[in-house]
Amino acid sequence: MHNEFPEIFVVRHGQTEWNLAGRYQGSLDSPLTIKGCRQARDIGKVLLREVGDRNDVVATSSPQGRARRTADLALAPLGWPITEDARLREIAFGAWEGLTKQGIHAGWPELGLTDAQAPVGWHFKSPDGESYADVERRVDRFLTDLTRPSVVFTHGILSMVLRARWLGVGAQDMLKLPGGQGVIFHLSPGRGHRMIEK
């Protein structure tokens, strides 16, 4: 565990139309669904409960629409300003963006076995997409620049890499980290990694 990093509350954006359709978004975007908006508002209630009385916590969001919309809805009860940081953008999936997993397997059948053996590592093999090292570098820069406890609004893969780097674990152990939408992942030097639900 990297105790030199400040405490963070990591939030993945709420469900989007492309999440529902099983399409890879990456650097593209799609709107939150009704469920996604509800998830964001519920996150706001949890944040109000967990950090609403603190004045040392700041909020930072990926500039991508689905993350920023989640941040706006969640932070409305707290009235906090939001700083955007491009380093929190989702991994760029290159040629896979907009495709379903079935479409990817049809176009790149040789990667099917890799998908089954390494479901997270597979995401870093898209043509013209970002590598794990690319994402790791920008996550490390973001974490190194953090000076205060933060609520961070980001994306599925980026959230996993961010939490793994904060914890000081490698890509293989990253697979063991929980995922999901509508929850908060709290990383604290005193309490480690925990999932906070509504």
C-alpha 187/C-alpha 93 separation (Å) is 27
Please indicate whether residue 186 is annotated as part of the active site: no
Q: Given the residues 2, 4, 7, 13, select the one marked as catalytic.
A: 13
Please indicate whether residue 97 is annotated as part of the active site: no
Q: Given the residues 90, 97, 123, 155, select the one marked as catalytic.
A: 90
C-alpha 28/C-alpha 98 separation (Å) is 8
Active site residues: 13, 90
